[in-house]
């Protein structure tokens, strides 16, 4: 891909030999390549050439739609979901007007991912399933099929249907592995699949898959790349579950530095790592103030996202642990106050869950069970 970037750059350096239309087309292609390489120049190149190509082709050409797809997903990754949604909807409208089914599948997939981020999971599933049907209709693009299965699997994982997520991700992994065992898509799916196994309680399998994912990812990307950071944080979450808090903290500290460098401190991805780091501190139990500060910071970022319930649940777990510590120190009154605070956070988490998930969702059942147990303990 870097070789293609060099070729495009060479053409643009001899722009006196090519037409303005060709120059804009090559510039648009270069912007797409920068997008895949996560180069900071992607946004500028895509926006500049979107304006130029619109002058030559009008606003309803497939070339315009393609740039809108990449620009839309760029904004999604940066955390601006509303801007992403607008751009991707424009792209989808162009493709559907031009009856370009196979291209519309990618726009549908990214748009579905945006709706997943926004917490509109029913809309996300409709879009992702529509995309999957198109890829299945045109079997000449197996990578596209694997790609959409991964996004669909992630959505089911977010919804708490881990068996469905596992089935979709394993299907995706099989397709990617037909290209190569070390294909970059393989590392991407392994990351999601490892997380599913962690959520299913199989920490050994989760760790094995996540370590495989990290090994492949490092073949393609440097240690300060967000893909490596994502692998580190996923692996750290397994170590936290296993009680290896020091190892988890080490990995999460590395991951956090990369996310803050690339996305800043107020990005949803940064918030996810902050929450995990707070959970590791909480599990260790030696610096509960640091744990609470980290989780509260994540909650501030999550306010407009459904994931805020996870931070609230983590705070409830933290106060439950503080109650146990207070009891161990013989301070029953303080322990009771901490339990009441934990109950408060669980109730807030349930409110968020009911806004985004069904009342019978696994998340609601899990929080309600914690709430019932803690309420009973408090009344005894």
372 and 348 within one domain: yes
**Residue 45: predicted pLDDT:** 75
Cβ atoms within 10 Å, residue 199: 17
Q: How confident is the model at residue 368 (pLDDT cuts 50, 70, 90)?
A: very high
294 and 353 within one domain: no
Residue 267, domain extent: 221-305
Q: How far is CA 303 from CA 307, 308, 309, 311, 362, in A?
A: 8, 6, 9, 10, 21
CB-CB contact of 310 with 295 (8 Å)? no
CB-CB contact of 275 with 262 (8 Å)? no
Residue the block writes with tokens 């370009």 = 100
State how far the Cα of 17 lies from the Cα of 209, in Å rounded to an integer: 50
Helical segments of the chain, H only: 2-13, 20-36, 42-57, 62-77, 81-97, 101-118, 121-137, 142-159, 162-179, 184-199, 203-220, 226-242, 245-263, 268-284, 288-302, 308-328, 332-356, 362-379
pLDDT tens, residue by residue, 74-129: 889 888 999 999 999 999 999 999 998 889 999 999 999 999 999 999 999 999 99
State how far the Cα of 127 lies from the Cα of 121, in Å rounded to an integer: 10
How many domains are there within the chain? 2
Last-in-domain residue among 288, 305, 322: 305
Does 368 map to a domain?
yes
Q: Is the pLDDT of residue 4 over 50?
A: no
301 and 226 within one domain: yes
State how far the Cα of 157 lies from the Cα of 154, in Å rounded to an integer: 5
Q: How confident is the model at residue 66 (pLDDT cuts 50, 70, 90)?
A: confident
Does 331 map to a domain?
yes
Does 120 map to a domain?
no
Does 242 map to a domain?
yes
Last-in-domain residue among 305, 334, 368: 305
Q: How far is CA 54 from CA 8, 50, 209, 246, 359, in A?
A: 20, 6, 45, 54, 47
Where residue 379 sits, what CATH number does that domain have?
A: 1.20.58
| R_g of the chain computed on alpha carbons | 23
pLDDT tens, residue by residue, 270-316: 999 999 999 999 999 999 999 999 999 999 999 989 999 999 999 99
pTM, to two decimals: 0.88
Q: How confident is the model at residue 176 (pLDDT cuts 50, 70, 90)?
A: very high
Last-in-domain residue among 243, 278, 305: 305
Does 296 map to a domain?
yes
Where residue 230 sits, what CATH number does that domain have?
A: 1.25.40.10
Does 121 map to a domain?
no
331 and 281 within one domain: no
295 and 341 within one domain: no
Choose the weakest-confidence range: 57-61, 62-66, 218-222, 337-341: 57-61
Closest CA to 318 of 347, 338, 344, 337: 338
318 and 259 within one domain: no
Query: What's the token pair of residue 314?
Result: 């983590």
pLDDT tens, residue by residue, 18-30: 344 444 444 444 4
291 and 236 within one domain: yes
Does 133 map to a domain?
no
Does 339 map to a domain?
yes
240 and 267 within one domain: yes
CB-CB contact of 60 with 94 (8 Å)? yes
């Amino acid at each position: 891909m870097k070789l293609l970037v060099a070729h495009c750059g060479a053409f643009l350096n001899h722009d006196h030999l090519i037409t303005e239309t060709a120059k804009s087309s090559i510039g648009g292609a270069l912007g797409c390549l920068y997008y895949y390489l996560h180069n900071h120049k992607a946004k500028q190149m895509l926006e500049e050439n979107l304006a130029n190509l619109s002058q030559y082709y009008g606003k309803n050409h497939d070339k315009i739609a393609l740039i809108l797809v990449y620009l839309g997903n760029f904004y999604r990754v940066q955390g601006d979901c509303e801007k992403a949604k607008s751009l991707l909807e424009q792209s989808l409208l162009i493709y559907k007007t031009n009856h370009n089914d196979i291209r519309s599948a990618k726009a549908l997939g990214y748009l579905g991912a945006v709706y997943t981020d926004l917490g509109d999971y029913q809309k996300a599933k409709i879009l992702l399933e529509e995309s999957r049907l198109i890829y299945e209709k045109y079997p000449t693009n197996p990578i596209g099929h694997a790609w959409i299965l991964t996004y669909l699997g992630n959505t089911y994982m977010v919804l708490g249907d881990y068996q469905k997520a596992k089935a979709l991700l394993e299907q995706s992994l099989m397709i990617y592995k037909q290209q190569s065992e070390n294909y970059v898509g393989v590392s991407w799916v392994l990351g999601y699949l490892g997380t599913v196994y962690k959520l299913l309680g199989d920490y050994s399998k989760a760790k094995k898959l996540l370590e495989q994912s990290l090994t492949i990812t490092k073949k393609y990307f440097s240690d300060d790349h967000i893909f490596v950071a994502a692998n580190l944080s996923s692996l750290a979450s397994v170590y936290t579950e296993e009680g290896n808090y020091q190892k988890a903290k080490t990995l999460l500290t590395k991951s956090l530095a990369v996310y803050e460098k690339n996305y800043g401190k107020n990005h949803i991805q940064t918030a996810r790592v902050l929450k995990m780091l707070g959970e590791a501190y909480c599990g260790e139990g030696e610096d509960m103030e640091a744990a609470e500060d980290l989780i509260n910071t994540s909650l501030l970022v999550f306010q407009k996202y459904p994931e805020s319930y996870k931070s609230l649940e983590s705070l409830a777990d933290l106060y439950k642990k503080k109650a146990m510590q207070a009891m161990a120190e013989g301070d029953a009154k303080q322990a009771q106050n901490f339990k009441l605070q934990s109950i408060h956070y669980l109730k807030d988490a349930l409110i968020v869950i009911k806004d985004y998930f069904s009342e019978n969702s696994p998340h609601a059942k899990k929080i309600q069970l914690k709430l019932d147990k803690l309420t009973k303990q408090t009344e005894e």
